[in-house]
Amino acid sequence: MKRKYLAFDIEIAKEIPEGERDWKAYRPLGISCAATLASDADEPLLWHGLTDDGRPADQMTQQDAMDLVHHLAMMANDGYTILTWNGLGFDFDTLAEESGMSEECQRLAFDPDHVDMMFHVFCTLGYPVALDRAAKGMGLAGKPEGMSGALAPHLWAKGKRQEVLDYVVQDVRTTLELAQVCEERGYLHWITRRGSIGKMALPSGWITVREALALPEPDTSWMSNPWSRSKFTAWLS
């Protein structure tokens, strides 16, 4: 039986210097907006704060973030599998800090039914793959041209908030579409940095975070500075 998925994605509020890769060094990051999309729904739900005149606020308040956690927990209890791309190491970690609901976010992130596709890829191959490269490798549209998660906070700060809302919606749609098309075809293809096609078999579909952690460690001896799984899981302890 096919899973009922709930795709989930956030965008941070804090502007990160161009080229900086360690975003966590700038915490707290804040959340500008988020989106959730159920596999049996036509449209995603958007999450963001509101100003007094009803416009998107600079960032979500703690209560706004708590409301999002409650929604994710409710949907999980209703039988939906939370679906993310790097949700274990980033989205849930950030949401835990912003909501103050660390235990709840840890449970959701390590829930038996949370599928973090990027973490599955990382545990299998020993290195991560970008969502946009995976989407385009599978023939999906991927991210809008010239747009990225690093650019989103800059646009939000400049008042271009509809562009960021459109972006987070596209990301959450891409996450869900990618999960479904990969499971239908039994593999993941992505565009490598060299422009070739990377391949990973998915004979049993996507596996959960717990199942990914149980996979044997891949050979990373060819890498100069391989990441450890604790890069994604350290905040759970």
Domain parsing of the chain, residue ranges: 4-236
Angle CA(34)–CA(40)–CA(137) in degrees, nearest 5? 70
Region label for 88, one of left (φ > 0), alpha (ψ between -120 and 50) or beta (otherwise): alpha
CA distance 36 to 43: 9
Instruction: Give the model confidence (pLDDT) of 143-163 as tens digits.
Output: 877 777 788 999 999 999 999
* Phi, psi of 8, deg, nearest 5: -145, 135
- CATH number of the domain located at residue range(s) 4-236 in this protein: 3.30.420.10
| Chain segment 35-92, per-residue pLDDT in tens | 999 999 999 999 999 999 999 999 999 999 999 999 999 999 999 999 999 999 999 9
Q: What is the pTM of this model?
A: 0.95
